[in-house]
Structure 1
């Protein structure tokens, strides 16, 4: 419509220019002949310019009397065409144009002297059925749908090309389930606009996989580890209910049930601790603490347990040391190492504790002269539920989780642990703690 209206305006402008040219062409005749009849002027102009129909009206206006003294019209039946405002104040040769039904009308002052103004008006039909306009209209009616279809096709191709990586990402996402959490969305041939989104989603998958694995591990670990003590508890109760027993027998059974119940409680607490691995919750409350005070607190809390086992804890050397740690978690790790050393020590033996340092780190050493660990078992001692002597561990109340928790806590702190052991001679555990840089 814009193109057609522009073309139509151009045709109208051309018509206006022609009307002005025809009007000015009449100036010499008007000057030479004075008063002229509109019919004569119309005939001459039609013959000269070949434009038809062409209607002419001439006003002779008396400037002194301020009135029209004569007017002449080429076609009396077309007088209504010239029913337009008459502006006698307009400048010489300045043309005004008007639309009257299907006609285009021009009005111009061609001559002016001291007494008279000659106002010359022309009219012809507007070009509404021009071959030029018809051709443009036909071309547009044919071209517009073709262009529109072509544009839609191009846009569709561009959209599909642009969204193809997005569709691929969506398909990859739909293909991922709890059984395929290890899958990741590839970033190859991915536009930079969505590459960051894909990386974020992969990170989300990694977090989900880690959380899902922790939940799965907790479920399997709980099922594995709680099965035996619950079976023991059930067996003890069933045995007790088969017949009447003495008070001492009931007491003995209840002590066994209590022991297994405590073991179940400890196992659940340790399993919950392991499921929180690598979470911000465990990393909270890291601050500067005194290693020597933590060691002394751990020794004080475990001395009763050592006494029952007829094991003596000896502190060989301790030095003041400030470290960056979560005090509660570090106490759990040290307590588990001490408890293992006491549990697997021989009766009437010693567990030695010492602190030392070098240029880069503090060394906390816990050493016993107990059962020791074979070289075949050493690589696996930090795995969950791994026991070097399964029968003995169960009799002594072990859950198989202590060293796994120790490793998790020390990894969380970026501490290293070194275990040296000789079977039937003893074990030495060294915890390597980095020094605070500004010390």
Structure 2
């Protein structure tokens, strides 16, 4: 399955936005962690200062640990250790067994301008040093504050210091992320549609383009510079195509029109000479020439009709007709032309429609003649008509020699004749193309159906009326 350009643009936009969102989330999470680390460091230094000035009592150490764990947002005091050490090397208040792995002799300030805590009153600020150490496969953040009274050492388990932040993020991130992705997808889809709007205009214009509408031009009002250039190129192409088409159409029409008069004169003179000649051999030769002139005259008439149809000037004189009677008359004539073929017809009575009488007869005659000409010896010909809702459907089917797909694709080409026309070479190759144009002029359609290689089926669809405000006639009104 071929993906649409809008879907590809949507996927590309969504991917880019998603990557940007992931980068922003990662940067935001890193900033939050840094901010939380900064807050933790500030609290650790404050608590280290409290430890350095605390009085030595066991019960106060328990209370201080509980209060310190609450301020540091630790689940319990077990994730906390602190130690008070005096200048003479003696230890004071202590909570937890301070391990040797958390030695503080090598601790140096990590943040020179920030890791100090101002003492109460005048004097130099207390120096607070921070370091991360590993103990029992756990990261501990150690703060050492040196004051004149001594040192305060505090260590907190980092595994639990960010637990509150992570829990909050885990609770809020999934719904926010889902909503963000949904809004991003909708915005990307709408943006893709908005970006393709000028292209869709151009596509719809191309789709509705017919030989009768070559004079249409797209307006570039309000279009962006890139699409304005594309629209201008498209309009220039249409202008060149219109000029070329009208030149070709006028040439074929003018040529057919100019040939009609000399052909008519030539035919009249041949008929006169034929009537005055008694030599049978010469009569046969003149009759053959006269027959070829008649075929040439028929080709010029068809070319003139096709040129008018191409220019949208095929004259129509619609009237109410009885399609059943027209088909019956043409089928009766066709029965006299078939030899050993079997012709079957299923034509309901009183099938009525509004159409041009002359053109409709030529259309039906071309299709029936085509079925007879292409039917193989001993084959069958079937003609079926019915009314479906507001249109008339007539099927022309015949058995034939195998026709490959390449030839079927050229059925409606002008001057094309299939190689297996069952021995008939008197066709001009304009019958089906003219039938197609007459059907289109009546706002109908003519198409070749998918059938086996040894069968040809043409479906003709014609609307019942040429104008929506014309009512269906009663039987007494039918011409």
- TM-score band by shorter chain is 0.3 to 0.5
TM-score (normalizing by structure 2): 0.39
